[in-house]
Amino acid sequence: MSDPTPTTAPSTRGTSTTVRTHDGLRLAGTLLAPRAEPEQAVLFLHGEGGTREQDGFFAPLADALAAQGVASLRFDLPGHGESEGRQEELSLSMLLNVIGSGLDHLRERVGTTRPALVATGFTGGVAAGFAARRGAEVSRLVLFNPLIDYKEHFVDARREWSSDYLDEPAGRELLATGRLAYTPSFVLGRAMLNEVFWLQPRGVLDVIAAPTLIVHGAGPTTVPVESSRAADKALTCAHRLVEIDADRSGEWRTPAAEAATEWILGDR
């Protein structure tokens, strides 16, 4: 997953908008509608600890799609950027509802009935799960460095967990503060830490019907490439895996954006 600190200025194009979630939170967003009634639209989902700009990557990608007549919506997740909410309240189920709210907002504003989903890192597995459960609402799926194995990432690989149990100091901290720091810009709460034992996106990948593109190497990531390769093999829909080997900072942006744009535009 990418470093959440933006490295380039956000696009000046687009209109500020507010996405209201099912449970009443107001999420700060940017709507880009190049035409009155676009035939295609995209919902962007950033990674954990970041913002709707995704290190300055999403705005240029949205601009490139707008040049082809594609509308888009991107917003700060709850507890991120300018949005309401707290990160420690996040859960996988909540994020599924957040995606639904974003799609509703996009459809209301531009009229496109089946937008594409573009997700990065932490939101990748949730987006895949949404596409598996609500396939009629998603036309295409693009996943950058998708985190599919949440328990492995947030529990198994962490030193404060042993044999699926949180150690005493971390347990006391969670009790006292309601949160555990995962990175300097992202914290986890009790709901998420319990859900990851039971909600496994990898188990529903074969149900996804929307054509799916996985791009691995789209920026720095802690998700191993083997995870993306296994996800690609599990898919039964039209799918493609693009691996980017970019040794120097920023070299991944152009090939990642080109692959995503081509996939979203499809055969038109």
The CA distance from 224 to 261, in Å, is 24
If pLDDT is split at 50, 70 and 90, which confidence band does 10 have? very low
pLDDT at 8 over 70: no
pLDDT tens-digit series, residues 55-109: 999 999 999 999 999 999 999 999 999 999 999 999 999 999 999 999 999 999 9
The CA distance from 99 to 201, in Å, is 15
pLDDT at 28 over 50: yes
The CA distance from 111 to 38, in Å, is 8
Write the single-letter amino acid at 168.
Answer: E
Q: Are 156 and 181 in contact (CB under 8 A)?
A: no
* Radius of gyration for the chain, computed over Cα atoms and rounded to the nearest angstrom: 18
Eight-state DSSP code of residue 94: H
The reported pLDDT for the residue numbered 154 is: 96
pLDDT tens-digit series, residues 175-189: 999 999 999 999 999
Q: Are 129 and 94 in contact (CB under 8 A)?
A: no
Q: What would the DSSP string read from start to end of 112-137?
A: -SS-EEEEETHHHHHHHHHHHHSGGG
pLDDT tens-digit series, residues 199-237: 999 999 999 999 999 999 998 899 999 999 999 999 999
The reported pLDDT for the residue numbered 249 is: 64
If pLDDT is split at 50, 70 and 90, which confidence band does 266 have? confident
pTM: 0.92
Can you list the alpha helix ranges (DSSP code H) found in 139-246? Answer: 150-151, 168-177, 190-195, 225-234
Q: Enter the CATH code of domain 15-149+201-265.
A: 3.40.50.1820
